[in-house]
Amino acid sequence: MKNQSVTNNLDWISIAIYITLVILGWLNIYSSSLSSIAEETSIFDFTQIYGKQFMFILLSIPLIFIVLSVDGKFYEKFSSVIYVIGLFSLAGLFVFGKTIKGQANWYSFGSFG
């Protein structure tokens, strides 16, 4: 069997739709958090919600390439293990979840939550 590169196996239409949705979502967050037109803002202001979202978008890019570079047969082979891990993660929220406004929906990892 011939060795094919990863870029030949990618669904470029889905990737383009994903990138478009991420950009539009970030622009919505950015535009809704601006308080005044006269105010100077920077997209790299990490004290604002749009700056934090921009940072998470940039940090997710390497993760996207790792997930896309893994062969699909890996996910087929370990789908049941991934499913069980997901179930335990959800069940663990009842014990280890951080309660915010009466709901335990998030894990807290230090200052990251």
pLDDT in tens, 41-96: 777 787 888 888 998 899 898 888 888 778 889 999 999 999 999 999 988 888 88
Residues 6+ positions from 65 with CB-CB distance below 8 Å: none
The interaxial angle of helices 12-33 and 49-69, nearest 10 deg, is: 170
Give residue for tokens 């478009």.
Answer: 20
Residue located via tokens 């950009």: 23
Distance between CA atoms of residues 6 and 15, nearest Å: 14
Amino acid letter, residue 81: V
pLDDT tens string 2-31: 556 666 767 788 888 989 999 999 999 988
Beta bridge partners of 98: 106
Q: Which of 89, 109, 87 is nearest to 98 (CA)?
A: 109
pLDDT of residue 77: 95
Q: Please indicate whether residue 71 or residue 40 has the higher confidence score (pLDDT).
A: 71
Rounded Cα distance, 71 and 76, in Å? 9
pLDDT at 6: 61
Model confidence at 1: pLDDT above 80: no
